[in-house]
Amino acid sequence: MTILITGSAGFIGSHLARALIWQGQDVIGIDNFNDYYPRNCKEFNVDLCRLAAAKSDVKTKDPELFSVYKKLKEYFSQNEENKASQNQGTFNFYELDITNQSQLEQVFQSNKITKIIHFAAMAGVPNSTKNPVLYSRVNVEGTTNLLELATKHNITKFLFASSSSVYGHREKENFTVTESDDVSKTRSVYGATKVAGEVLCHAFHKSKNLKCAIVRIFGPIYGPLQRPFGMLHQRAINYTHNNNALQIYGLNGLETAKDATYIDDEIQGFIKVLNSDFDFEIYNIGTQNPLTIKHWLDCVEQATNKKLNIEIIQADAADVTSSANISKAKEQLNYNPKTKMQEGIRRQVEIFKAMPQWYQEMDQV
């Protein structure tokens, strides 16, 4: 069994790739190294995946790479559900864009792919408002290309990484959302492209019998090597390290409350969906435990042992809040997120301190 992971150089995709490799699965990764954030961050993620598969082309004399890798595997093994295989899987990587169907076709022809986990997308709510055409082309056209190739090459399972953004903003009376809730009133272009991707998955399931599962990610997803641009946890850690003032844009300032899911818990959710039996399903994968931004920042201050300099800024109109009802995932998949934010942030800070200087001093976060 070979699993294709699109967006495998990104934060969640690379963590999932390593987890599957450690469990003995063969993984094909693709990514276009979009400049949404620095390429060297993604190259570091890919090298960690190669190291997980013991590929010979890894820069084996890089002490920082080995240090981070050992810590990540240690965190992975601390979860009793993660049983590493004695025979770790393989990893092969292709740099390409999912909007280029001819290049995608070559990957499918060269590899016997059986399952697809589709993360590749233009990310970020604010940026989607500025670049709606780009977001639509990548997130909608790119997803269509993959679905078409999935049916052509007899893929047995297709997992689509969606987002809590599809639910739009929820007020207190209906703050917690279930998979059956209306998703037609999303506020952002990003959210709209994710709704479109979900609808396309359903259409390919109905018209071409493709087995699809939608995983609605409730973030921000945080933890070691969190996406460095546009993620508050990582920005807070970076700004604390570099003594910069942190600006807060949440709808209700420091009292804005959102689900924030630790990366290993999110990965467990994806693996449980992947290993389940489905024709077409939708799952919320989050914590069902919204915490305030103040709590997030308190955890950062505790982990770094430094005080943050905070400025409250007017909210982004596209910013949304909602919380995941994860009852379905708990009952059907035995999904159970366990990591407390204090521990997750502690790990994130520990990895941050082990990273190269260029990473610690990035100014575009």
- Which residues, in sequence order, are CB contacts of 207 under 8 Å at separation 6+? none
DSSP structure string for 23-91: TT-EEEEEE---TTS-HHHHHHHHHHHHHHTT-TTS-TT-HHHHHHHHHHHHHHHHSTT----SS---E
- Give pLDDT, residue 173: 45
- Give pLDDT, residue 288: 85
pTM for the model stands at 0.94
- Give pLDDT, residue 360: 94
Asked if 190 is an active-site residue, the reply is yes
Q: What is the DSSP letter of 112?
A: -
Catalytic residue among 190, 239, 262, 335: 190
CB 252 within 8 A of CB 293: no
Each residue's pLDDT tens digit in the chain (365 positions)? 899 999 999 999 999 999 999 999 999 999 999 888 889 999 999 999 999 997 555 555 678 898 999 999 999 888 777 766 677 899 999 999 999 999 999 999 999 999 999 999 998 887 888 899 999 999 999 999 999 999 999 999 999 999 998 988 765 545 688 999 989 888 889 999 999 999 999 999 999 999 999 999 998 999 999 998 889 999 999 999 999 988 887 666 788 788 899 999 999 999 999 999 999 999 999 998 888 889 999 999 999 999 988 887 765 555 556 688 999 999 999 999 999 999 999 999 999 999 999 999 998 88
Determine the Cα–Cα distance for residues 197 and 140; give it in Å rounded to an integer. 6
- Give pLDDT, residue 315: 59
- Give pLDDT, residue 248: 80
Q: Measured at the alpha carbon of residue 158, what is the angle toward residues 111 and 15, in degrees to the nearest 5? A: 80
Determine the Cα–Cα distance for residues 149 and 111; give it in Å rounded to an integer. 13
Q: What number of CA atoms fall less than 13 Å from residue 23's CA on the CB side?
A: 20
101: tokens are: 């169907």
- Give pLDDT, residue 300: 96
Secondary-structure class of domain 2-222+260-287+324-339 per CATH? alpha beta
